Structure 1
Amino acid sequence: MQRFILNFLILFSFALSSFAQKQQPNVLVFYVDDLRAELGCYGSLTAITPNIDKLASEGVQFNKAYTQQAICAPSRMSTLTGLRPETLGIYSIFTPLRKVHKDVVTMPQLFKENGYKTISLGKVYHHSFDDKESWTTQFEKDNNSYLKPENMALLEKLKKEGNKNLNGPAFEDADVEDEAYKDGRVAKNAIETLHKVKDDKFLMFVGLSKPHLPFNAPKKYWDLYDKNKFAIPSREKPQDAYRLALTNWGELKGYHGIPQEGDLDDDLTRTLIHGYHASVSYIDAQVGKVMKTLEDLDLRKNTIIVFMSDHGYKIGEYGAWCKHSNVEIDVRVPLIISRETSHKGRKAGVTSDALVENVDIFSTLVEICGLDGPPSDGKSLVPVIDNPNMAWDAVATSVYPRGTNIMGCTATDGQWRYTEWRDAKTHEVLGSELYEHKNSLLSFKNVSGNPEYKKEEKQMKKLLESQFPRNSKPFLQNDEPRKN
């Protein structure tokens, strides 16, 4: 009898454990490149994004979410490790995570160790095969960008001429199906993979590369918009900004046919804005396809969805076409978190003005999935997901270096943005900026040092120093030098 009871208890315990494991939700993250909050659900008057808008109606939309650095590689490493760039010491796009940090526990690594199938599709890390052992399935990042014969011929010509810069035009509108461009293939691979893992627990990252340059998307998405209806943004630079605050319009200059000096004319500006919007609508359609598959496979009831961007982007504002700065429009990002439909108390169709950060995503998913995670610089957003109007953090911070000697440290309280440009070793303040953002992503006057805003600057300085004390150690720098 005792043996029977003992065996029963063992079997019962095993059944409970199996049941608990099955109750752990799946995770699907849409990770988008260069996407600012230029979406219908965020109040855009121009962007056509019905599928992302629908996702927002099924979850919590964060209106004040921020990335930790407005550049691809460090931002993505921060999200996938739960550690800030200043902790990792990697600030450039040239240094892979595992080149420096062999023992850091990443999100896919943790989930894989806990029985999840971990799947990487498209652009997740900046470096395609970084952290490759942590993924159960990893699709090679697809770099094919151009489809029009004239553009393919141009690339071949540049290659034969020995031109190291093999970027073609900054935009393209081939009349093709979605899968002809790489994000369509990412969505196709995601759909096929969902069918294969539908009976498993999974963590899937769907990395969508648009609207990163070049603004290449099928013609039908360009046709959604009338180019002539796009307004030309102000090219005015912020008055009295620190001399290194903005990056010149940078990466766009690397594309064929773009003038190397001076501002773009209005026609080219409108074409590029048109291309950015077409690219956004293109990735919106891919989100819709993947979400439909989740529903068709009856996976939505046990899958949490995160929709996020690695950083913002300027499409002509301040006369710039890049990220690479600490300004609000570059560090603010869209973030939508939609709990599994079976979750009791699930919030849907609500917004939150809580100050949240991309570095918080790791801890959030660890808590939701009931895992024991590594130490993190972020914190779980579960309380604010469950109660979107609750009081939350007083500050969100980001960094951006200028070379190896100067570090820009920036903080927002949701209304004001304060930035100090410091000596990276001594923390001596070389310059400061204070901008008001109560009603706009843009601000055109640095009021740091203005007696009228002394109270606001004192408060913001205090918030910044709570995260970046003046007596801190020098900023860690693990970047590899750029290889020519």
Structure 2
Amino acid sequence: MKKLLLLFCVILCFSKAYCQTEKPNVLIFYVDDLRAELGCYGSETAITPHIDELAADGVMFNKAYVQQAICAPSRMSTLTGLRPENLGIYSIFTPLRKVHKEVVSMPQLFKENGYKTVSIGKVFHHGRDDKDQWTTYFEKEPNTYAKTENIQLLERLKAEGVKRVKGPAFEDADVADEVYKDGRAAKYAIETLHKVKEDNFLMIVGFSKPHLPFNAPKKYWDLYDRDQFQVPSRQKPDGAYRLALPKWGELKGYHGIPKEGDLDDALTLELIHGYHASISYVDEQVGKVMKTLEELDLRKNTIVIFMSDHGYKIGEYASWCKQSNLEIDVRVPLIVSRETSYKKRVTGKTSDALIENVDIFPTLVEYCGLEGPVSDGKSILPVINKPHKKWDKAAYSVYARGKKIIGCTVTDGKWRYTEWRNSATNEILQAELYEHKNSLLAYTNLSGDPAFAKAEKKMKKLLEIQFPKDKILPQNDVHRN
């Protein structure tokens, strides 16, 4: 009898371990406005020990790209596995479900397969998108200020009838992490991990920083000496299309930012300082959540993904924010660290494979053994297993300028080629060719230069694979940015 009981216990333990292996947990850190300004990516300024540790515990992708450098379309693309040009949504104003009722999203699929689905902070840009597909849902919180003078400023502006009131572009209050919203997001994530530790879960933690305003506790500002930062070159790409760069994005909407002209050096450095402080603030929150994952013994059965919704400019090209087809705006950090129970673990590796954020959903579908919807991306598990494996020849992005112009862009890892087209006819208005072999930045449009004709011809062929001249891209936006 004792032998039978012992055998039963062994079988039960084996079955439990087998089930956990078959159904791993998923934890995604989805960070807003974060370019690859991290220690693990070679930044000489950013202090990010916890994210660096995560990179050392998995695979870091050097050439990961978003499908559009603006929040809503990028996040829709990641969470549905469909490209913006197939969803037909290019602006921040149109929610996914206003246009697409039939599309299967990541939380929807995981919930249907018995997972606890958790949304914390900014996941979808529009909180109402698939709100009912999360078993646990924490609202995206508004920006907060902690300094008395800034709170009073906001109250005064509202009283004066100022429309779309925004406070200063940065703040460094001497407060606890939880006073600002990303500290609270980490707190909610930790509390929820305790609640779902016995279940299989998909948890996406959306950290808002380093999105404007650059509000972070003073201790993170104190990590840096402002003299260590440099004002970036304000040179704009020579020969760029007239609409290639945005007019500063949302920065000019913040109080104290001049409406015209370039920022002076002092304000530029203060903003760069604030951007870095915000990154270190998020890094600490990542560390807190990962520590809890370890303490609850969940790490061994959880795949962790650290990613961003798009890149960012902090003064390069005399421009700010994102909203372009330039390399600096579409390239993003991506780190994948899987649980130890899955085959042989690969750690501390980097990959130069061309990866797209649209690949994340199908990767998780395969990894978790689910049957997923049709996707524009593909699983990158082969690259996670063998980081130096040959992979795709190109990565694609788009950016619309109003209703009449759309920019289609492709990279092969060295060259970036962009065509600005008439949205109705596909007529090419202007092309751009930039070399990025040794730098994230490029200052000369080489399109049309005979010395680079071979490279341009190659890139044009790659572009037309995804954006053929005989296919007009759908436009389902009610409003366009």
**CA RMSD across the alignment:** 1.5
Match of 2:98 in 1: 99
Moved more, 141-150 or 167-176: 141-150
In the alignment, does 2:120 pair up with 1:121? yes
Match of 1:316 in 2: 315
Runs ≥4 in structure 1, deviation > 4 angstroms?
15-19
- Code of the aligned partner of 2:114: G
Matches within 5 A, 1:97-246: 97-246=96-245
- Tell me if the contact between 1:129 and 1:140 (Cα under 8 Å) persists in the aligned partners: no
Q: Distance in 2 between matches of 1:206 and 1:51?
A: 16
- Tell me if the contact between 1:433 and 1:448 (Cα under 8 Å) persists in the aligned partners: yes
Give the drift of 1:22: 6.3
Q: Distance in 2 between matches of 1:144 and 1:481?
A: 24
Give the drift of 1:378: 0.2
Q: Distance in 1 between matches of 2:459 and 2:356?
A: 18
Q: Distance in 2 between matches of 1:118 and 1:275?
A: 33
Q: Deviations over 1:439-484 (max 9, x none)?
A: 0000000010000000000000011011111111x2111112269x
Q: Distance in 1 between matches of 2:78 and 2:144?
A: 26
SS at match of 2:420: strand
- Tell me if the contact between 2:143 and 2:213 (Cα under 8 Å) persists in the aligned partners: no
SS at match of 1:354: coil
SS at match of 1:118: strand
From the superposition, tell whether residues 18 and 217 of structure 1 become closer, same or farther in structure 2 (CA, over 3 Å): closer
Q: Distance in 2 between matches of 1:225 and 1:216?
A: 15
Give the drift of 1:343: 2.0
- Code of the aligned partner of 1:398: S
SS at match of 2:317: helix
Q: Distance in 2 between matches of 1:165 and 1:180?
A: 23
Q: Distance in 1 between matches of 2:18 and 2:457?
A: 54
- Tell me if the contact between 1:58 and 1:348 (Cα under 8 Å) persists in the aligned partners: yes
Q: Distance in 2 between matches of 1:287 and 1:223?
A: 19
- Tell me if the contact between 1:186 and 1:206 (Cα under 8 Å) persists in the aligned partners: yes
Q: Distance in 1 between matches of 2:21 and 2:442?
A: 49
Give the drift of 1:23: 3.2
- Tell me if the contact between 1:22 and 1:201 (Cα under 8 Å) persists in the aligned partners: no
Match of 1:4 in 2: none
Match of 2:474 among 473, 476, 484: 476
Moved more, 18-27 or 218-227: 18-27
Moved more, 165-174 or 337-346: 337-346
Q: Deviations over 1:327-377 (max 9, x none)?
A: 000000000000112222111000000000000000000000000000000
Q: Distance in 1 between matches of 2:147 and 2:19?
A: 52
- Tell me if the contact between 1:398 and 1:411 (Cα under 8 Å) persists in the aligned partners: yes
SS at match of 1:250: coil
Match of 1:458 in 2: 457
- Tell me if the contact between 2:91 and 2:479 (Cα under 8 Å) persists in the aligned partners: no
Q: Distance in 2 between matches of 1:423 and 1:70?
A: 20
Aligned pairs, how many?
A: 470
Matches within 5 A, 1:72-83: 72-83=71-82
Give the drift of 1:273: 0.1
Q: Distance in 2 between matches of 1:426 and 1:435?
A: 25
- Tell me if the contact between 2:96 and 2:129 (Cα under 8 Å) persists in the aligned partners: yes
Match of 1:364 in 2: 363
Give the drift of 1:165: 2.3
- Tell me if the contact between 1:312 and 1:331 (Cα under 8 Å) persists in the aligned partners: yes
SS at match of 2:321: coil
Q: If the length of structure 1 is used for normalisation, what is the TM-score?
A: 0.95
Match of 2:28 in 1: 29
- Tell me if the contact between 1:301 and 1:342 (Cα under 8 Å) persists in the aligned partners: yes
Match of 1:5 in 2: none
Match of 2:380 in 1: 381
Match of 1:6 in 2: none
Q: Distance in 2 between matches of 1:41 and 1:206?
A: 21
SS at match of 2:355: strand
Give the drift of 1:16: 6.4
Match of 1:274 in 2: 273
Unaligned ranges ≥5, structure 1:
1-11
Match of 1:449 in 2: 448
SS at match of 1:288: helix
Q: Percent identity?
A: 73
Q: Distance in 2 between matches of 1:261 and 1:425?
A: 33
Q: Distance in 2 between matches of 1:172 and 1:282?
A: 13
Q: Distance in 1 between matches of 2:305 and 2:346?
A: 14
- Code of the aligned partner of 1:177: A
Give the drift of 1:429: 0.7
Give the drift of 1:261: 0.6
Q: Deviations over 1:74-108 (max 9, x none)?
A: 00000000000001011000011111111110000
- Code of the aligned partner of 1:401: A
Match of 1:7 in 2: none
Q: If the length of structure 2 is used for normalisation, what is the TM-score?
A: 0.96
- Tell me if the contact between 1:59 and 1:348 (Cα under 8 Å) persists in the aligned partners: yes
Give the drift of 1:410: 0.2
- Tell me if the contact between 2:59 and 2:335 (Cα under 8 Å) persists in the aligned partners: yes
SS at match of 2:322: coil
Unaligned ranges ≥5, structure 2:
1-10
Matches within 5 A, 1:241-390: 241-390=240-389
